[in-house]
Amino acid sequence: MTRKFLVGLESVLQTLWVGGLWVIGYLVAPILFASLDERRLAGELAGHMFTAMNYVGLVCGGLLLIFALLRAGRAWLKELRVIALVSMLALVLISLFVLQPMMQELKLAGLTPGSEAAGRFGMLHGVSSILYLITSLLGLLLVVRRETGDYRSR
């Protein structure tokens, strides 16, 4: 594969992942909750989209990390891009394989307003939202740094 092709592929993968994070999290999900009368349905639809984005993130982020590691060589620990990608992937893994199953289990058990399960679900949802925000901001950092070509840690 040519270098030009790989650079183009990296751009597409990054656009798909980071763009998807921002569109789903900060445009689509709020519109669902504002437009649908049934909050439970809005939550279910948003949850499916967040799960899909997490899988997109695993694929795109994994490939981006491989490319970044190959480019960085032995200096990979000094590459901000590598650190950001590893962090983003770790946050996606935590969300997808720890938080989402715990939240799903609580939903299946039934969430009664004011119950302990509802409180726990709210806490997990808050943690999940914070991890999503951090992932989105790290993705934005990657986009900005890609535009400037500045990937070295300071």
pLDDT tens, position by position, for the chain (154 residues)? 688 888 899 999 999 999 999 999 999 999 999 999 999 899 999 999 999 999 999 999 999 999 999 988 888 888 899 999 999 999 999 999 999 999 999 988 888 888 898 999 999 999 999 999 999 999 999 999 876 655 554 4
Domain that holds residue 143: 3-148
d(CA 99, CA 34): 25
Instruction: Note whether residue 153 is domain-resident.
Output: no
pLDDT at position 139 is: 97
Instruction: Note whether residue 100 is domain-resident.
Output: yes
d(CA 28, CA 21): 10
Instruction: Note whether residue 14 is domain-resident.
Output: yes
Instruction: Note whether residue 144 is domain-resident.
Output: yes
pLDDT at position 149 is: 59
Instruction: Note whether residue 35 is domain-resident.
Output: yes
Q: Could you tell me which residues come within 8 angstroms of residue 83 by beta carbon, excluding any fewer than 6 positions away?
A: 77, 153
In 3D space, the residue among 72, 123, 64, 121 whose CA is nearest the CA of residue 92 turns out to be: 64
Instruction: Note whether residue 154 is domain-resident.
Output: no
pLDDT at position 77 is: 81
pLDDT at position 68 is: 92
- pTM assigned to the model: 0.90
Domain count, the chain: 1
pLDDT at position 148 is: 60
